[in-house]
């Protein structure tokens, strides 16, 4: 995922600069790729059934955390959770 975001960022912006973190790509043209990859990984973890109960718990927690990062990104430009929804009038 970091390589895809970095290369996509280079191509989409035409600038050879890296963001300070993977989450920073949410504020770039690579936002849809970032959110899409996190959602796919999260749902894969939700569908995963491990050999032991602890595997299922860890995978379910991974799903919850991936979903949270995808839908409620942390950014310096937004202070409140779901700030991106409020800015769109939701």
Average pLDDT on 3-27 reads: 83
> Tell me, what DSSP letter sits at residue 30?
T
Q: 16-69: per-residue pLDDT in tens?
A: 888 877 877 888 888 889 899 999 999 999 999 889 999 999 999 999 999 998
As a whole number of angstroms, the distance between CA 36 and CA 44 comes to: 12
Residue 35 contacts by C-beta under 8 Å, 6 or more apart in sequence?
Answer: 26, 70, 71
Nearest Cα residue to 46 out of 35, 38, 36: 38
Residue with the bigger pLDDT between 75 and 50: it is 50
Lowest mean per-residue pLDDT among 3-7, 8-12, 17-21, 58-62: 17-21
Helices 31-47 and 53-71: angle between axes, nearest 10 degrees: 160
């Amino acid at each position: 995922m970091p390589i895809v975001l970095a290369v996509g960022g280079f191509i989409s912006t035409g600038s050879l600069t890296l963001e300070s973190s993977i989450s920073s790509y949410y504020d770039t043209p690579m936002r849809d790729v970032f959110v899409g990859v996190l959602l796919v990984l999260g749902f894969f973890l939700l569908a995963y059934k491990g050999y032991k109960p602890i595997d299922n718990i860890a995978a379910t927690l991974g799903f919850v955390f991936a979903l949270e990062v995808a839908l409620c990104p942390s950014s310096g430009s937004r202070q409140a959770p779901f700030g991106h929804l409020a800015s769109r009038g939701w």
